Structure 1
Amino acid sequence: MKPIVLADDFAVGRYAAEIIFSEMVRAATENRPFVLGCPGGRTPRSAYKGLADLIKESKTNISHVIIAMMDEFLEENTDGTYSNHTLDKHFSCTRFAKLEIFDVLNASAPEGGKIALENVRFPDASDPQSYEDFLRKVGVDVFLMASGASDGHVAFNPPGTKRDECTRIVRIADETRHDNLSTFPDFKYIEEVPKHGVSVGPATMVDVSAIAIMELIGTHKAEAFARISAATSYESDWPSTIIRDCKDYYILADKAAANS
C-alpha cells in the first residue's frame, strides 16, 4: 500500500480518527470491547483530538474502549531489577495516556458512557509476559504507530531489534532518548531520560493488530517517510518498517513529511 499524503497534521489526525471511530462503533454493535493501541508520544495527538470531536458530535458511548499503551519508562532498582516509574513523573507514559488520551476522549463522551480508568492498560516491568498474553487474548482493533525521527524506533524497539521480539524490557537507544527530549520537554538533558523501558515488540504489533496506522507528521519525519515508503517488509535497522508486515495497515503522512 502506498502512503496517503494529506495536507497537514489536522488532516492526518482526522483521517486516522475516522478509521478508529468506525471500528469503535463496529465493536459496540458486536457487543465487544474495542482495543486501541497507542504510543506514548506527540504524533497521534491530532488523531485523539479528531476522535474526541467525532465522539462529541455523535454522543457515542465509549465505555467499551480499552486503551493499550505500547511502552513505559523504567527505573533501575538497587538489586538490578526494574520497576515502572510512578505517575507523578512528567515522562510517565501511563501519565501521558491519562492526560492526553483518556481525559481527552472522556471529555467528549456522554455521562454514563465514558472509559473506566482501569481500561487504561500498560506493560509492567515486573511481568512483561502477562501484558503480551493480555494483548494476544483480547487483540488490538487499531494500533496507532509513530516512527522515531532519527533512528526509526517504534515503541522502544531500537535499531537491530529482531522481527520475532515480543513484550520485554529493553535498553533504550541513545537516539530514541534524544527524541524524547522533544516528546517530554521537561527533560533538560539527555542524561535525565531513562535508559530502560518495557515495550511491545515487532511480533506483538503484527500478531495482535487487526488494523495498524503509521502517522508521519512534520519535516523532521522526512527520513522516516522515505524509509517506510521504500520498504516492502520489516527492516531491522529501521524498526518502524514493521508497519509493512501488518495484516491491514495505513501509512498517513502530511505534506511536510512527504515533501521535505
Structure 2
Amino acid sequence: MEWVEVKNYEEMSRLAADLFEQQLSAKKDSVLGLATGNSPLGVYEELIRRTAEGRISFAEATSYNLDEYVGLGAKDETSYHYYMHDTLFSKIDMPLSRAHVPNGEAADLAKECSEYEAAIAASGGLDLQLLGIGVNGHIGFNEPGTSFDSLTHVVKLTESTRNKNSEHFPDGEVPEKALTAGLQTIMNAKKIIMLIFGEEKAEAYERLRSGEVTEDFPASVLHLHGNVTVFYGK
C-alpha cells in the first residue's frame, strides 16, 4: 500500500482526481469502479471541472458503482442511482448507457447480483476502483464478517451502518438490505484508491494501518492487493 497523508480534504480530492486523470489519459476506455457517500464528493467535483476544461473525457469510459439499497429506484432521491446522476453523471460526458449501478428494485436480486458481476467481467474488469471506508471497516456495503471471497451479493446492513446513513434519509428510515460488489469483486480491480478523511474515521485508519488482515475488518483485505493508494487526513 502507498500511504499519502494530506493537509486537507481539498488536497485529497485533487490528488485522487489526478489518478483518475492519469488513468483516463493512459486508457480512454477505462472501466471505473465508483463509490458514494461524503468522501468522494470532492473527487467528483474535480472530475467535473477537469471534464469542462477539456483535460479529461469519459466519452469512452464505463463505470460500475459499488452498491445500491434494496427497494429504492433510480428516481428515489435517497438511492445511489440518484446520487450518482445528481453529483456526477449528469455533469460529465460519459454515456448513461455505460454508467452502471446495481438495480435495487430487481425482481430477482440473486440474478441481478450474478449479472452485475458478469457485466464487470465482460467489460474487461475494473481498471480503477474508488473506495471510502466505514467506521467499522466496511468497504462497499461489505460488513464485518463478509468473506474475502465474496462476489456481488445481497447484504443485511448492520445497525451501526444504518444509523450512520440515516442522516441522508428525511424520515430516518434506512433500508435493511443492499446490493454490493463483493470483496473479491473489489480486489479484482487493477488499481484501488482509498479515501479516509476526518476524525470519525481515525480509528478505522489506525486499524487499517496496523496491517492486521481479518474478515472482522473488511478493508484489511486491501493489504493483499498489490496496487492500493490510501489518502488520509483529518
**What is the aligned partner in structure 2 of residue 73 from structure 1?**
69
Conserved 8 A contact 2:48-2:88: no
Name the CA distance, whole Å, in 2 between partners of 1:100 and 1:240: 25
Name the CA distance, whole Å, in 1 between partners of 2:147 and 2:41: 29
Q: Describe the shift of the 1:2–1:140 C-alpha distance in structure 2 as closer, same or farther (beyond 3 A).
A: closer
For 1:148, give the aligned amino acid.
Answer: G
**Partner residue of 1:63 out of 59, 64, 67:** 59
For 1:45, give the aligned amino acid.
Answer: L
**What is the aligned partner in structure 2 of residue 217 from structure 1?**
197
Q: Percent identity?
A: 23
Task: Could you tell me which runs of 5 or more consecutive residues in structure 1 were left unpaired when the two chains were aligned.
Answer: 76-84, 107-113
**Partner residue of 1:240 out of 213, 219, 229:** 219
Conserved 8 A contact 1:2-1:229: no
Name the CA distance, whole Å, in 2 between partners of 1:61 and 1:4: 26
1:197 paired with 2:178, answer yes
C-alpha RMSD over aligned residues: 1.6
For 1:197, give the aligned amino acid.
Answer: A
**Partner residue of 2:33 out of 13, 33, 37:** 37
Deviation at 1:187, TM superposition (A): 3.5
SS in 1 for 2:190: strand
SS in 1 for 2:68: strand
For each residue in 1:4-45, what CA deviation from the matched residue of structure 2 results, as whole angstroms up to 9, or x when unmatched?
A: 1011111001111000111111112xxxx2121112211111
For each residue in 1:111-157, what CA deviation from the matched residue of structure 2 results, as whole angstroms up to 9, or x when unmatched?
A: xxx211111102233421011111122211110001102x1111111
Name the CA distance, whole Å, in 2 between partners of 1:42 and 1:134: 27
**Partner residue of 1:147 out of 101, 118, 133:** 133
Deviation at 1:172, TM superposition (A): 1.0
Deviation at 1:232, TM superposition (A): 5.0
**What is the aligned partner in structure 2 of residue 81 from structure 1?**
none
Task: Could you tell me which runs of 5 or more consecutive residues in structure 2 were left unpaired when the two chains were aligned.
Answer: 104-108
Name the CA distance, whole Å, in 1 between partners of 2:50 and 2:58: 11
For each residue in 1:226-251, what CA deviation from the matched residue of structure 2 results, as whole angstroms up to 9, or x when unmatched?
A: 01111254x21111223222231101
Deviation at 1:59, TM superposition (A): 4.5
**What is the aligned partner in structure 2 of residue 89 from structure 1?**
76
TM alignment of 1:99-118, pairs within 5 A:
99-104=86-91, 106=92, 114-118=93-97
TM-score, normalization by structure 1: 0.82
Conserved 8 A contact 1:39-1:145: yes
**What is the aligned partner in structure 1 of residue 106 from structure 2?**
none
List structure 1 segments (4+ residues) > 6 angstroms apart after TM superposition: none
Deviation at 1:216, TM superposition (A): 0.3
Residues matched between the structures, number:
227
Deviation at 1:67, TM superposition (A): 2.1
Name the CA distance, whole Å, in 1 between partners of 2:222 and 2:154: 21
